[in-house]
């Protein structure tokens, strides 16, 4: 009797983003556990699997997120260890900024249990569509907001920058609706030397319900500590400057220099 762990994503926008793969696994699994952010997706999951259980019960205000994630991982592993097919459904892409999904898969595999992940539509995918950003054009770096500060990541002013979990910057516990303005000031201090306080960024929230529009709030970096942020906010910082091509590299690659505006 060998168990199976399948991690799927339900996307960001209710109904339309849930892939056929995700629906099939949710419908076929012996047990289903989920983290969703809207009631329609929750209803869909329960329609496909009436016994499905929300993992959100492990969130408690002030509780370290690490503890919550460990409880989620243990729940997923328990069923798979008992030989059941367990489906874990996380909103968005289940492998993008989701600790327990990767952790449960790693630990299941280490115990000889088959474990797989199916991709989903992430907030980043929605951002690319709603803000008209193609990362191929200017490049794009992305970080978790607290990680960006703690590890002193260096932004490239010629590339796009995406900061996730901006509403919880500097907070390792679960405190929805309580963004720390002092922590945002630290973030502003780190960004301003590269971009300037007047550089305009976007506080972005993809629509979670069909027919609704995304929230796209333009904010000067200097005003970020007073911006209205939620647990679903993502910060997009556009590039400040264009990068000049390197003629020596263009020559070594035998590329046409005119294609890069060299010698035009």
Ligand X SMILES: C[S@@+](CC[C@H](N)C(=O)[O-])C[C@H]1O[C@@H](n2cnc3c(N)ncnc32)[C@H](O)[C@@H]1O
Q: Which residues are catalytic?
A: 65, 69, 91
Spatial CA neighbour of 12 closest among 144, 230, 206, 203: 206
CB 121 to ligand X: min, Å? 8
Q: Give yes or no for a contact between 108 and 4, defined as CB atoms under 8 angstroms apart.
A: no
Q: Does 123 bind ligand X (CB under 6 A)?
A: yes
Q: Pick from 59, 97, 143, 260: which binds ligand X (CB under 6 A)?
A: 97
Spatial CA neighbour of 204 closest among 172, 183, 233: 233
- Please give the structure tokens belonging to residue 50: 């009436």
Q: Which stretch binds ligand X (CB under 6 A): 90-98, 103-111, 172-180, 256-264?
A: 90-98
Enumerate the β-bridge partners of residue 88. Answer: 7, 33
Q: Give yes or no for a contact between 32 and 142, defined as CB atoms under 8 angstroms apart.
A: no
Q: Does 93 bind ligand X (CB under 6 A)?
A: yes
Q: Does 206 bind ligand X (CB under 6 A)?
A: yes
In the bound complex, which residue of the shown chain has the CB atom lying closest to ligand X? 92
Spatial CA neighbour of 196 closest among 244, 155, 144: 155
CB 209 to ligand X: min, Å? 10
Q: Does 122 bind ligand X (CB under 6 A)?
A: yes
Q: Does 74 bind ligand X (CB under 6 A)?
A: no
Cβ neighbour number for residue 241 with a 10 Å cutoff: 10
Q: Which residues of this protein are in contact with ligand X, per CB under 6 A?
A: 12, 90, 92-93, 96-98, 122-123, 164-165, 167, 204-206, 208, 231-232, 234
């Amino acid at each position: 009797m060998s168990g199976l762990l399948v991690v799927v994503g339900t996307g960001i926008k209710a109904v339309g983003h849930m892939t056929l793969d995700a629906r099939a696994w949710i419908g076929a699994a012996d047990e289903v556990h989920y983290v969703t952010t809207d009631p329609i997706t929750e209803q869909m999951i329960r329609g496909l699997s009436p016994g499905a259980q929300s993992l959100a019960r492990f969130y408690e205000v002030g509780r370290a997120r690490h503890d919550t994630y460990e409880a989620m991982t243990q729940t997923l592993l328990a069923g798979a260890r008992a030989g059941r097919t367990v489906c874990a459904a996380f909103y968005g892409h289940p492998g993008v900024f989701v600790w327990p999904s990767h952790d449960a898969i790693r630990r299941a595999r280490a115990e000889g249990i088959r474990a797989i992940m199916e991709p989903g539509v992430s907030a980043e995918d929605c951002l690319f569509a709603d803000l008209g950003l193609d990362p191929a054009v200017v490049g794009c770096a992305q970080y978790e907001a607290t990680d960006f500060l703690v590890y002193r990541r260096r932004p490239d002013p010629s590339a796009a920058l995406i900061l996730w979990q901006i509403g919880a910057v500097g907070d390792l516990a679960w405190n929805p609706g309580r963004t720390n303005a002092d922590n945002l000031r630290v973030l502003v201090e780190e960004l301003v030397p590269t971009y300037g306080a007047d550089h305009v960024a976007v506080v972005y929230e993809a629509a979670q319900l069909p027919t609704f529009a995304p929230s796209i709030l333009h904010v000067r970096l200097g005003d970020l500590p007073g911006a209205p942020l939620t647990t679903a906010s993502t910060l997009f910082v556009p590039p400040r400057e264009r990068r000049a091509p390197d003629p020596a590299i263009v020559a070594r690659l035998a590329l046409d220099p005119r294609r890069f505006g060299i010698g035009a």
